[in-house]
Amino acid sequence: MDIKEFLMRMERRETIEGGSELHQFLHVLAQEAMRITSTLNNTYHTREEICQIMTELTGREVDPSFSMFPPFYTDFGKNITIGKHVFINSGCRFQDQGGIVIGDGTLIGHNTVLTTLNHDFSPRRRSSLHPAPVRIGKNVWIGAGVTVVPGVTIGDGAVIAAGAVVTTDVPENTIAGGVPASIIRELTEEELR
């Protein structure tokens, strides 16, 4: 198995059966992610160096406009797509096997958790994993301490209040908050200028 085949299977949302070849490959890639994030998190890096490290981690060119305050954690890394002018604050944790797409101009607050895998509910199959992507639109602001669960899409321009747990899609240009998150209101015309 190679990374291309693995990513295609994640895009198709194939179950990762516990103990399978797919599951074992996932663990090999996790070791690489831990090595790279250890380098990122344990010494000072310039913005340019952070972009280079994130390019190595994701396997995709990260735009020079990208900015991050480490530490940053992921147990995979190869299924993260980052747009231009994205900022990720310190302490964020991305579980990206199922795919994370972050649109241009998005701001992600401290200690945000983005998850893309669920364990099987059956105790006999609990080690099996079900991938589903997280998609974040353009110019989204995610406040500190937010958790986004697998399969959620956050629309362009949305604001997610600090501490929210986002379990369903969030429409564009709205503010969502709470546990579980619900729509608080739409952004006003003045706020959208």
Among all residues, which ones are annotated catalytic?
Answer: 119
Q: What are phi and psi of 54, to 5 degrees?
A: -65, -30
Sheet holding 141-142, edge to edge: 67-68, 87-88, 107-108, 141-142, 159-160, 174-177, 182-186
Pairing of strands 129-131, 117-119: antiparallel
Interatomic CA distance for residues 20 and 24, integer angstroms: 6
In order, the DSSP letters of 27-46 are HHHHHHHHHHHHHHHSS---
Kind and range of the H or E run holding 47:
helix 47-58
Dihedral angle computed from the Cα positions of residues 8, 14, 16 and 20, in that order, rounded to the nearest 10 degrees:
-80
- Dist CA 152 CA 134 (whole Å): 5
Q: What are phi and psi of 101, to 5 degrees?
A: -120, 125
